[in-house]
């Protein structure tokens, strides 16, 4: 058995003022006579106050203050720094999905159909309706926009869930965001589109290459940055 680390001493060694240390038993503060909600108020009303809220043995209890928290490693019974301090699933997924939805829809309209923008959402809706989508006017276009944003928000949700298990997705958000964009492109073009009712066709290679690169920057990266932002 390795020697146990005193969290208070470790925090002080890192230059982090200790505001509270909570224990498993009733979450009772041991180092400060205040509740987590009061700590949060202190951090808001007095932004100059720095510190860390440490929860002994409960890595899923989150820090009320900004900045890295410390969590106990169940394998070594030691203390390990964690980037995930206050994840907010709803805004992380929604904001990332909305940004990607707007960017990607704009890209598709500008590149593929700048003179008849309605064709882009109708093409998306054709994944469900087939070629009859192009005769549906504004109704099928609205359906296409809805489907587009559902897919975008879904992609953001998958990255968020992955980041809960693999913290490196937050620590290296730019790198893995670019990589994730490439995976989204491959998933859509190799699995979703072939299984959909959309008319089959092949765009020129230059368009495919540009769209593939666009997914790195315009899809994966905004999602990863949004998730990281709302996880700090």
- DSSP annotation string for 73-134: ETTTTEEEEES-SS--HHHHHHHHHHHHHHHHHHHHHHHH-SS-TTHHHHHHHHHHHGGGGG
**Both 97 and 78 in a single domain?**
no
Domain extent, residue 170, equals 89-229
Q: Which of 82, 104, 138 is the last residue of a domain?
A: 82
Question: Does residue 209 fall inside a structural domain?
Answer: yes
The three-point CA angle 9-13-18 to 5° equals 60
Closest CA to 85 of 63, 57, 114: 63
Reduced to 3 states (helix: H, G, I; strand: E, B; else coil), residue 58 is coil
**Both 67 and 160 in a single domain?**
no
**Both 95 and 209 in a single domain?**
yes
Query: pLDDT tens string for the chain (232 positions)?
Result: 455 555 555 545 555 554 444 443 334 343 333 444 444 444 444 344 344 444 433 333 333 333 444 444 444 344 444 433 446 899 999 999 999 999 999 999 999 999 999 999 999 999 999 999 999 999 999 999 999 999 999 999 999 999 999 999 999 999 999 999 999 999 999 999 999 999 988 889 999 999 999 999 999 999 999 999 998 7
Question: Does residue 2 fall inside a structural domain?
Answer: no
| Strands (E) located in the chain | 18-22, 52-55, 69-73, 78-82
| Strands (E) located in 134-202 | none
**Both 47 and 109 in a single domain?**
no
Q: Which of 57, 82, 107 is the last residue of a domain?
A: 82
């Amino acid at each position: 058995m390795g020697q146990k680390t005193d969290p208070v001493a470790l925090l002080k060694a890192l230059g982090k003022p200790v505001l509270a240390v909570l224990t498993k038993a009733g979450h009772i503060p041991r180092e400060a006579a205040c509740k987590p909600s009061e700590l949060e108020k202190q951090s808001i009303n007095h932004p100059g106050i720095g510190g860390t809220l440490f929860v002994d043995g409960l890595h899923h209890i989150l820090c009320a203050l900004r900045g890295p928290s410390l969590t106990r490693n169940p394998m070594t019974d030691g203390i390990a720094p964690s980037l995930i301090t206050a994840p907010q699933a709803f805004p992380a997924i929604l904001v990332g999905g909305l940004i990607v939805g707007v960017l990607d829809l704009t890209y598709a309209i500008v590149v593929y159909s700048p003179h008849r923008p309605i064709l882009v959402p109708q093409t998306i809706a054709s994944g469900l309706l087939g070629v009859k989508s192009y005769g549906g006017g504004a109704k099928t276009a609205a359906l296409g926009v809805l489907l587009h944003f559902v897919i975008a928000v879904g992609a953001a949700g998958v990255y968020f869930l992955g980041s809960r298990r693999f913290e490196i997705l937050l620590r290296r958000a730019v790198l893995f965001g670019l990589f994730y964009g490439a995976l989204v492109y491959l998933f859509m073009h190799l699995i979703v589109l072939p299984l959909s009712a959309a008319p089959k066709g092949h765009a020129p290679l230059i368009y495919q290459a540009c769209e593939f690169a666009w997914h790195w920057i315009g899809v994966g990266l905004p999602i990863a940055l949004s998730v990281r932002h709302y996880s700090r």
